[in-house]
Structures are given as C-alpha cells and as structure tokens.
Amino acid sequence: MDLSAINPILFIAGFFVAATPLIFAAVGELVVEKTGVLNLGVEGMMIIGAICGFATAVETGSPLLGFAAAAVGGAVLSLLFAFLTQVMLANQVASGLALTLFGLGFSALLGQSYVGVKPPRLADVDFGSLAEIPIFGPIILSHDLIVYLGLALVVAVWAVLKYTRIGLVLRAVGENHDAAHALGYKVVRIRTLAIMFGGACAGVGGAYISLIRVPQWTEGMTAGIGWIALALVVFASWKPFRLLLGAYLFGGLVQLQLNLQGAGVAIPVEYLAMSPYVITIVVLVFLSRDKGAAPASLGRIFHASS
C-alpha cells in the first residue's frame, strides 16, 4: 500500500471530471421533477447523448458540435417520454423504464461502427498565467469548457427557479397541477418543455463521458450513472446547490475508489463503492420525515378534466 502514490492535487481535480456528467444529468432531472414529473429514463437519455455526441464529434471533427448534437439527441428521445406520459397518460414509472431500455438498445445500434474509434479532443480552457497559481490553479482552472458550463448551468437553474416568472410557474405546476390549470397555465406544455430540457442536459452529461472522461465509445458505457443522477436529485432535496455538493461527493467517492485501488489499499473496494448508495438511502429516510421537500404533484398523472 503506497498512499504517496496518490497526488492530492490531481485527486481533487479529478472530482470535477467525475462529477460533471452527474451534474448535467441531475440538474436536468431536477427541473423535470420540479414540474412534478418523475423521469426514470435518465440513463437512456444519457447514453443516447453519449453516442450522438461521439458520432457527431468524430464525423465533424468538432467536439463542441458533438455536445450540441448530444443535447438534441437527448431532447428528441425525451419527447417520446413526454408523449407517453403527458398525452397518452401512461404510467410514469413504466414509461421511464421503457425509455432507458430503448435508449440503451438504440445507442448500441447507432454506435456499432464507432467502437474503438478515438474522438477529437476538447482542449482545456486556457486561463493563461492564472493556471500557474499553486493549488488553486491546477485544481480549479485546469478543466475543459464543459465543466465550467456545468457549474454555470447549476447557477442559472437556481436563479431561474428562484427569481424568474417562468421558474415560479414551473414550481407551481409541480406543486399543484390542478390549481395551476385552474389559473390558466398550460400544464402539459410546461411539463413537455421541462422534459425536453432534462433530456438535453442528460444528453450532454452522457456525451461528457464518451468524449472526455473515458474517452471512447462502448455499449452501455454510462454504467448506471443515470440512476445515481436520480438519487442525487432526491439527495439534493431538489435544491440546485445541494445537488452540486452531492455530485462532488459521489464523484469524489468514485475517485477515491479508483485511487485507493491503484495504491493497493486493503479496504475491500466494494464497500467503498457501496457507500454513495447507502448514504443516499439514509438521506432519503431523513428527507421523507420532512414532507415538505418534494414537489407535491411528483409522479401523479394530470388529466385536465375541464
């Protein structure tokens, strides 16, 4: 066991990379759940984003275009979910699972010719001499654009939900869809837009894995991260900044696990890998005693009866 083999600076810097896909997927799902919809298809949307992003980046040579394509791909897939749950009034749990299954399969199909291909690299943002600042520089200022975009997105979502009219309406719909409807707000339309936003975000998160974190394409490479994103939203009590904290926690645990493994530490790595999930359960229990946190209409089917 050689703990000195772990470079603390690189270790902490790694948090950002590990957390970014989670941040995107979770913040998108947070918005969706705020409007009262539970979309279990995050995993499916992420992997579709992963392949759309990868394929586009490889074909066009531009990783940024890849991310844009990933957002579109995720949004399009989420439309299927929106159609099923908002128009066809199907059960949200089943629809979300169908989405995941479909997404996993479809992405594998699309990705067949891309296995083993190297994608174009996205350069880190150049902060010039700022990046030389000891500790702060390598940890915070040494990342690619998408990491910073993720952080900005969280701040933006927080601000929109708290301070703008559209944010207020979104929250109202999730709180009491009947009252919102009675007041004249188009519940189905708002939810569909939110679902598409969630899909786009999840797509970008997935593309981050295939284009930057790994970077390559393999079938099913999201490996359950979509489900963690779902847990993360609850862990964060639907609050954007708590979500950020949670993402780094989870990302950190993943990093720790990898590093400890590399350093030959004797703690069975599996118990460490379990901890994010166990912690989430504990948090869930505490949260459920405080009923106020979840959007009241979450998961309930809305049928305008007038």
Partner 1 sequence: MIALEKRPEPSRTFSLAAPLLAVLATMLFGGLLFALLGKDPLEAIRTIFWEPLFGEFAFFYRPQLLIKGAPLVLIAIGLSLGFKAGIWNIGAEGQYIMGALFGAGVGLAFYPMESVFIFPLMVLAGAFGGWIWAMIPAVLKVKFGTNEILVSLMLVYVAEQFLASMSLGLMKNPEGFGFPGSRNLQQYASAHNAELITGSGMHWGVVAAFIAVIFGYVLLARHRLGFAIRVTGDAPRAAAFSGVNPARLVLFCLGMSGLLAGLAGVFEVSGPAGQVTIDFNVGYGFTAIIVAFLGRLNPVGILLAGGLMALTYIGGDIAQSKLGLPAAAIQVFQGMLLFFLLAFDLFTNYRLRLGRTEVA
Partner 2 sequence: MTQPLLSLNALTKAYPGVVANDDVSLSIAAGEVHALLGENGAGKSTLVKMIYGLVRPDSGQMHMNGAPFTPSEPRAARAAGVGMVFQHFSLFDALSVAENIALGMENAPKLSELSARISAVSEAYGLPLSPDRIVGDLSAGERQRVEIIRCLLQEPKLLIMDEPTSVLTPQEVEILFKTLRKLSAEGTAILYISHKLEEIRTLCDNATILRLGKVVGHCMPRETTAREMAELMVGKLLQTPTRAAQPAGEVLLSLTGLRAKAPNTFGMALKDISLELRAGEILGIGGVAGNGQDELLAALSGERPAGRGMVVLKGEDIGPLGPTARRARGLLTAPEERMGHAAAPDMSLTENAMLTGALRQGLDKGGFLNWPAARQFAEDVIKQFDVRTPGPHAAARSLSGGNLQKFVIGREVMQRPEVFVVNQPTWGVDASAAAAIRQALLDLAQNGAALIVISQDLDELMEISDRFAALNEGRLSDPRPAQGITVEEIGLMMGGAHGMEVAHV
With H, G, I as helix, E, B as strand and everything else as coil, classify residue 268: coil
What b/e string do you get for 212-242 counting C-beta neighbours within 10 Å, with b at 16 or more? beebbbbeebbeebbbbbbbbbbbbbbbbeb
**Beta strand residue intervals within 33-113, DSSP E:** none
Binding site for partner 1 (CB under 8 A): 38, 40, 80, 84, 88-91, 93-95, 97-99, 101-109, 112, 219, 224, 227, 230-231, 234, 268, 270-271, 273-274, 277-278, 280-281, 284-285, 287-289, 291, 303, 306
Binding flag, residue 224, partner 2 (CB under 8 A): no
- Minimum distance from residue 244 beta carbon to partner 1 (Å): 20
Interaction partner, residue 234 (partner 1, partner 2, none; CB < 5-8 Å by kind): partner 1
Residues written for the chain:
306
SS3 of residue 137 by DSSP: helix
Q: Which of 62, 142, 176, 275 binds partner 2 (CB under 8 A)?
A: 176
Phi-psi region of 214 (alpha: psi -120 to 50; beta: other; left: phi over 0): alpha
Six token digits for residue 236: 């964060």
Return the half-sphere exposure (C-beta side, CA atoms, 13 A cut-off) of residue 126.
2
Three-state SS for 26?
A: helix
Asked if 82 contacts 192 with a C-beta cutoff of 8 angstroms, the reply is yes
Which one, 123 or 285, has the nearer CB to partner 1?
285
The contact pattern for partner 2, residues 111-150, with x = CB under 8 A and - = no contact, is: ----------------------------------------
Q: Which does 277 bind (CB under 5 to 8 A by kind): partner 2, partner 1, none?
A: partner 1
Q: Find the binding residues for partner 2 in span 149-168 (CB under 8 A).
A: 163, 165, 168
Q: CA 232 to CA 228: how far, in whole Å? A: 6
Q: Which two tokens stand for residue 120?
A: 């174009």
Site size toward partner 2 (CB under 8 A) is 18
Nearest to 205 by CA among 12, 75, 60: 75
Instruction: Pick what 236 binds: partner 1, partner 2, none; C-beta below 5 to 8 Å, kind-dependent.
Output: none
Which one of partner 2, partner 1, none interacts with residue 175, CB within 5 to 8 A by kind? partner 2
- Do the Cβ atoms of 167 and 160 come closer than 8 Å? yes
Nearer to partner 1, 19 or 139 (CB): 19
Interacting residues with partner 2 between 8 and 27 (CB under 8 A): none
Among 22, 46, 147, 180, binds partner 2 (CB under 8 A): 180
At closest approach, how far in Å is the CB of 232 from partner 2?
20
Largest Cα–Cα distance of the chain, in whole Å? 68
Question: The tokens 């298809």 sit on which residue?
Answer: 41
Minimum distance from residue 91 beta carbon to partner 1 (Å): 7
Among positions 172, 231, 233, 256, the unique one binding partner 2 when judged by CB under 8 A? 172
CB closer to partner 1, 90 vs 145: 90
In whole angstroms, the minimum distance from the beta carbon of 163 to partner 1 comes to 29
Please check whether residue 275 is in contact with residue 265, taking contact to mean a CB–CB distance below 8 angstroms: no
Cis previous bond, 119, omega within 30? no
Applying CB under 8 A, the residues found at the interface with partner 2 are: 163, 165, 168-169, 171-172, 175-176, 178-180, 182-185, 292, 295-296
